[in-house]
Structure 1
Amino acid sequence: MAKSQPQAADAWISYDGRLSAVHAAALIAANDVTAAERAEAGTLSRTALRHDPTAVSAAATLGVVTLAQNDTATARHLLAYAQMLSRRNVQTQLWSIEDAVRRGDIPGALHWYDIALRTKPELSEMLYPVLAQASRDPTIRAALVRTLAGKPPWADSYVGFAAGQKDDPLSTAALFAGLRARGVAIPPAAQVSVINVLLNGGNVGEAWRYYAAIRPGATRTQARDPDFTALLETPSLFDWMPVNDGNVSASIQRTSDGGAFAFSAPASIGGTVLQQVQLLAAGTYRLSGHSEGIAQDARALPYWTLTCRTDGSELGRVGVPNSAQADGNFTGSLTVPANCPVQTLTLFVQPSDAIGGTSGQIDRVVLAPAR
């Protein structure tokens, strides 16, 4: 009965300190605790500890009651005693965090965060948002990096949570940069999430700097991975991103020569199949490449477009002829204006009337400044 009717259970077996402790804790569990309830909880807790000095809940409850009476020294003594008995009492863990924060003890607060999350991982729902908010402070973020670098069991879980936060991606990027500097491996999905959130939020420079840090040799002066050799499981917006909408099939595949982008679509179906975000400076660029397996009527041939990411305006288009023409090679020019700092290079497949629909491969595509 202790869980559902703690008062009745305590009344039936009043000499059991554990039941008295549960009864006392229940009295102060509500948000609107009265002074009388708080006093009764204190009396019950003292009785519980006399009957059973190992009643953790009683020590924690008495500590909270004493704290409400502004006797901080005694409260800390009681809660420290509860911590000594067990590290699984949620009330004690949360108070220890709050007390460390109140005293400006950042390492201490993170120490108790660590203990709480190790012993009760479900507390992450409550603690992660608070920790993410606090880590916007550079001093706290630096201390958090040191804690996570120690690889506690909850490190990967928190990194995944932080990567999905969209309200302050700059802080998340700084956190991840600090972790990388300490040799901590960030999961690819988390890295990509930060890059995409930064880019979609208008933090273009920060997004590129983070991307360049995890993709050595990346350049913003031309399209990246022209031969499709990266074969990334979790590409970012700066990488080649195949687009599958349920009707069109698109994927980057390994070949004997490295890699190739393959696509197929049923009859009368078309759409975007491949994209990569660019940061090209104003000027004229040459788009060239090579295809295999494309055989369509002229009005159903694929084509490349370069669009301005801010307003979607098209900056140019380069058609992809049938692969039997010019040995599968294609080329064309595109112009980037000065008022368009971010662009998207897209391969578009047009609907085909052929019974088998349309399919083919692109095994090379180069977008670079015109010579």
Structure 2
Amino acid sequence: MTTYNPRRFAIASGLLAGLAILLLLQSISSINFKREPELSISLLPMNGLAREQFAFTEFAAKVTDPKETQAAAEYASGQARRALRSKPLAPKSHAILAMAEPDSSVRSEIISLAASLNRRDLALQGLWLNEKLSEGNFPATIEALDQILRVHPQHSEQFFPVLAEALEDQRTIPEFAQLLQGPLPWKTGFLRYAVRQRQLQPNLALLRMQIGFEGEPIDRSLIAGLVRQGLYSEAHGLYAHIIENPPVGSELTIGPWRSAYPPFDWYFVNDAGFRVQPSLNGETLDIAVRSGRGGVIIEKFIPAPTGAAQVRIKHRIAPLQQLRDVRLQANCAGSGTPYFDGRFKPGEVVFDLPQAP
């Protein structure tokens, strides 16, 4: 027969009831601390998360200009310290105390130690990132950005410009090559962003020589961007590298009319009533031009011949009276004026091009 001590049972019941109330308050407080941190603190003064959120809210409310950061952090530092008493690893509290610290060496130490304990908090990782940027430590900057973007991919648009700023320095290319050669959740998004930044395109080309970008559209945009900047040698060098080392899964056309990477591959006009496309056998071109339409129908950049050159074209353009409007022109890149302009003749025509000026 089981016996029990009524007094001990009463004490145990009281402890369990107290614990239940404590857990209930903790539950309510945890639900409300982000929305109403002051209410959370009043319900459960030991709630470090609520105090941390309250401290961060106080800090954020005081910052209207980056110059006010330290003063705002000092204002909120009392709540931050109280939060740390209940939750010693509260990341935002460490961030506030670091921003409030006037001694730069002490501030750096706080940030370094706190960031090593928490790789997920955006405020703390942002401070760590700022430290590395101010030091000019590009490898650590790139590492910090990688950690932030892995954990907070929704903030990619805010951090891609910082990553791009690092890539502007040619010295960072080896670090980027090492980082981007593996699978990353933000890799393609960043490359799509970076290839649109004119100032990054030369360094992106150097980076592309070392690693694959896993996508013809990015390569195509990069080549076109370099051409628009007049960096023809860099663009052609990148084109040659890609053709010799095609991207994984690429299906480059083999034949005379490859058009994957204009302008070093062929450009074909493709408008309604004004279209050019390779024929089914891949050896000739089908041209369709509606009356009243005109302009460049095919175009390609080639390295300038060292001397005179000859171009031989066979065609079956009909009716013959249209030939007076069909011409072959040769331009130097960047020049709007052709140095050669020749009319087509029936059947086969041979054009003798002079040496490019």
TM class by shorter chain equals: 0.7 to 0.9
1:73 aligns with 2:106: yes
Deviation (angstroms), 1:26: 2.1
Distance in 2 of aligned mates of 1:332 and 1:78: 70
Aligned to 1:271: 295
Counterpart CA distance in 1 for 2:196 and 2:107 is: 41
Q: Following TM superposition, by how much is the alpha carbon of 1:44 offset from its aligned partner in structure 2, in angstroms?
A: 0.8
Consecutive unaligned residues of structure 2, counting only runs of 5 or more, are: 1-31, 246-252
Aligned-residue sequence identity (percent) comes to: 21
| CA deviation after TM superposition for structure 1 residue 13, in Å | 5.9
Q: Of 154, 160, 178, which aligns to 1:122? A: 154
Q: Which has the larger radius of gyration?
A: 2
Find the counterpart in structure 2 of residue 38 from structure 1: 73
Q: Is 1:307 paired with 2:331?
A: yes
Q: For this pair of structures, how many residues does the alignment match?
A: 314
Structure with the higher fraction of residues in strand conformation: 1
- Root-mean-square deviation (CA, aligned residues, Å) is 3.3
What is the Cα deviation at residue 90 of structure 1?
Answer: 1.1
User: How do 1:215-226 residues align onto structure 2 when only pairs under 5 Å count?
Assistant: 215-216=243-244
Distance 1:43 1:227 in 2: 73
**Counterpart of 2:215?**
187
Report the Cα distance in structure 2 between the residues aligned to 1:296 and 1:10, rounded to whole angstroms.
88
Deviation at 1:198, TM superposition (A): 2.1
Alpha-carbon deviations, 1:50-100, whole Å to 9, x = none?
2334533333333333xx33264366346633652x433111111112223
Which structure has greater helix proportion?
2
The DSSP-based 3-state class of the residue aligned with 1:202 is: coil
Query: Deviation digits for residues 113-153 of structure 1, max 9, x if unmatched?
Result: 11011111233323322222322333322222212223322
Which residues of 2 match residues 229-268 of structure 1 at below 5 A? 229-230=257-258, 232=260, 235-252=261-278, 255-256=280-281, 258-268=282-292
Distance 1:174 1:277 in 2: 21
* Higher RCO (CA-CA < 8 Å; seq separation 6+): 1
Check the 8 A contact 2:83/2:93 in 1, yes or no: yes
What is the letter of the counterpart of residue 175 of structure 2? A
Q: Secondary structure at the match of 1:249?
A: strand
Q: Does 1:335 align with 2:341?
A: no
Task: Report the TM-score when normalising by structure 1.
Answer: 0.72
- Partner of residue 59, structure 1: 94
Query: CA 1:13–1:320 in 2, change beyond 3 Å: closer, same or farther?
Result: farther
Q: Distance in 1 between matches of 2:36 and 2:123?
A: 20
SS at match of 1:270: coil
CA distance in 2: counterparts of 1:226 and 1:52, whole angstroms: 65
Contact 2:273 2:289 in 1 (8 A): yes
Equivalent residue for 1:211, pick from 239, 245, 259 = 239
> More displaced, 5-14 or 156-165?
5-14
